[in-house]
Structure 1
Amino acid sequence: MSFFEKTISKETIFNGKIIDLNVHTVELPNGKTSKREIINHAGGVAIIAYKDSETLFMVEQFRKPIEGVLLEIPAGKIEKNEDVLECAKRELEEEIGYRAKELKYLGRIVTSPGFCDEYIFIYKAEELYKGRDDLGDEDEFINVKEIKIDRVKEMIKEGKIIDAKTICALMMI
């Protein structure tokens, strides 16, 4: 049995700066129809940034959708027509103020495939050297933290780090 759902029609509900929202009418494998609300997102990158072999750079920032502060690996949105590797380089420097001599692609994840088409591409950054001093975008406020890898893993188990891309990325190393 095929699980594929054929799109019969698509209605655009919202076009925004970061996301678009569409409602798809789909034909189900059993021949019936249903609606799917789908968020389209350009995708993002996330970087496991090593200060040294035992320490990671992490970022702490307020996330409005959950009304709370999260501790995460550096990450950001892919701009329109931006190369994924170039995005990783840019976001690494914007978020923690460092560049990497070695930036290795580890894989990708889907964030919420039940309603969103976003992929996050995971990189590992090593041999870091100082870049810019002005962190974040004009509407982004970030605290950079240096945390031992073992402590990061403990914080995940303790529920102190709940960011999915961070947890997934650490499974890739």
Structure 2
Amino acid sequence: MKVRGTRRIYEGRVVNLRVDDMEFQAGKHGDIEIVEHGGGVAIIAQPAADSIILVRQFRPSTGRRLWEIPAGKLERGEEPAACAGRELQEETGYRAAVLQKLWSFYTAPGFCSELLHLFQAQGLSRGEPSPDEHEDITVEIFKVAEAWALVERDELPDAKSQIALAWLRGNAAVAAGAIGRP
């Protein structure tokens, strides 16, 4: 496969949309729509080993208020760790003494370039949140088991948050000896 040409059909504040003219096997070609996104961060913030901070906010794309871990988009030229610290403070009021990057993953690689960087926040100190003017955020601390129960009841349908909670549960199971280390 190769790209024969590209045209941008929309430029926005958060995303751009381009159409790539692709050449496939046997000389066939077709258009592929790509959402260009500058990337973002998500933060696992735990005030205690068995708890996690979740935020609830209205997500227009779903028409619902969703529980999720704190997250946000990278500003142009911003380093992911700086973005993680900024978003954690803005959305929750908490500051982290240490932000450890866990890994990065594409959110929907079939059509979107968004690369999300997942961090674990350690050494939390509480302050006042300073959300953006368009954000109406509720902050709550959940026991990890309570947060996972939200997933099981389809009340936490956010993939990045489900990944974070599964990681926490897996680590707890390893620590308890319920499963072996990889």
Q: TM-score interval w.r.t. the shorter chain?
A: over 0.9
Kindly provide the amino acid, as one letter, of the partner of residue 27 in structure 1.
E
Compare 100-109 and 74-83 and name the one that shifted more.
Answer: 100-109
Alignment of 1:23 with 2:15, yes or no, is no
Alignment of 1:67 with 2:63, yes or no, is yes
Work out whether residues 74 and 96 of structure 1, in 8 Å CA contact, stay in contact via their aligned partners in 2: yes
Partners of 2:53 and 2:15 in 1: CA distance: 28
Greater helix content: 2
Instruction: Specify the alignment match of 1:40 in structure 2.
Output: 36
Equivalent residues in 2 for 1:8-157 (5 A)? 8-131=4-127, 133-157=128-152
Deviation at 1:31, TM superposition (A): 2.4
Secondary structure at 2:136 match in 1: coil
Deviation at 1:171, TM superposition (A): 3.1
Deviation at 1:156, TM superposition (A): 0.9
Structure 1, unaligned stretches of length 5 or more? Answer: none
Greater strand content: 1
Deviation at 1:113, TM superposition (A): 1.2
- Structure-1-length-normalised TM-score: 0.93
The sequence identity of aligned pairs, in percent, is 38
Secondary structure at 1:66 match in 2: coil
Secondary structure at 1:122 match in 2: strand
Partners of 1:93 and 1:30 in 2: CA distance: 52
Kindly provide the amino acid, as one letter, of the partner of residue 91 in structure 1.
E
Q: Deviations over 1:35-70 (max 9, x none)?
A: 100010001100010011111110000000110010
Q: Deviations over 1:83-142 (max 9, x none)?
A: 1110011001011001111211111121111111001100011210123x2431111110
Structure 2, unaligned stretches of length 5 or more? Answer: 169-182
Compare 52-61 and 27-36 and name the one that shifted more.
Answer: 27-36
Instruction: Specify the alignment match of 2:159 in structure 1.
Output: 164
Partners of 2:96 and 2:88 in 1: CA distance: 8
Give the root-mean-square deviation of aligned CA atoms. 1.1
Secondary structure at 1:144 match in 2: strand
